Amino acid sequence: MVSRGNRWDREMGDDLGNGACPGGVVAVPKVILRPGYSISTIIKGGWQLSGDHGPVDADRAIADMVRFVDAGITTFDCADIYTGVEEKIGRFLADLARTRGQDALNRVKIHTKYVPDREQLALVSLAQVEAGIDRSLARLGLEQLDLVQFHWWDYSVPGHVEAAGHLSTLRGKGKINLIGVTNFDTLHLAELCNVTDVVSAQVQYSLLDRRASGDFATFAQDHRVSLIAYGVLAGGFLTDCWLGRPDPGFEFENRSLVKYRLVIEEFGGWALFQELLTALRAVADRHEVDVSTIALRAILDSPDITAGIVGARYADRLIRTLRAFEVELTDKDRIQIDAVCNRAKGPHGPVYGLERDINGRHGRIMKYNLNEGDDRMAADLQGKRI
């Protein structure tokens, strides 16, 4: 078990220091979520390590995590439903403690999720929530989880407020440092803010999808809820490799590409998407960088967003990612990008509203019961269910 101290005794000075970046790249800024707790403004995403995106060389992926830390990206995102990812990060943390020591370990923040299966929502209890948190602690090899992001699949099944209360109880027991949410809309986020301190909300946000702007972002700011954006590069669509390519349709090797191709359709279709890529390429040419660098910089500049998650199996494109901190977008750049984005037809509706419709095209690709089959969880539920 890796010991990292309780939530009150970490050195704020270490947390607030900028990471040293390779090759003279500008340092990665840090942002404070709560006193004594700060994160890098770029977070390394973990979904790509689950295997849904293709084969993963676990040893290489774990070794490359150190390269992210050395570059100043010291915050990692994962989830209990990302198969095998918490275990991989647990191995990384153990290796980091052994090779770099306690100070290096204390600078790293791990954001995981608690996602009860859709079919089990009606059965969620304190015992069930604690079993899930204990499972993440064991997988990560930690005594306390830095940030647990809570998700609830179906608002028509009551219990999300009580489940958030259970997480707060476990925070009181020292098993959790901070509590956040993922994919909650304004109404239901407000309910949770009444029962616990919600530090952050993870939301899908990119140049293609700004559903989290407006009322949701305003509520979040008013209640000290930091927005952490995922999908900032739309699963890799907001990159040079898609510029000028014909519409591939919707048949892809992984769900991530299907998911974001559907977002492109909501945005206005393939033709308008190509116009956006063309505009981004023109801006990128002026700054001598890639399209992805401009797309990422634009989101990091948004007043709605505190930090952005960039998914990566390995560190191959790390330097390109870091170049986002070298770019300062001009008024001309923003006008050129907005000229296309302002013509978007969607997506519309509340945060994650399209994805919650299990019969809709966005919801049909989701996997809702990824914790089922876990023998330990099943045993806990069987033994503790009332």
Collapsed DSSP state (helix, strand, coil) of residue 283: helix
Query: Residues of the chain with pLDDT > 90: what percent?
Result: 86
How confident is the model over 347-375, as a mean pLDDT?
90
| Integer Cα distance of 347 and 267 in angstroms | 6
pLDDT at 5: 45
Average the pLDDT over 130-142 and give the result: 98
CA–CA distances in Å: residue 335 to residues 76, 279, 287, 329, 338: 33, 10, 15, 10, 5
Return the beta strands (E) in the chain as ranges: 30-34, 37-40, 42-45, 75-77, 109-114, 145-150, 176-182, 198-204, 226-230, 307-311
pLDDT digits over 301-340, tens only? 999 999 999 999 999 999 999 999 999 999 999 999 999 9
Residue 4 banded pLDDT, cuts 50, 70, 90:
low
pTM for this prediction: 0.91
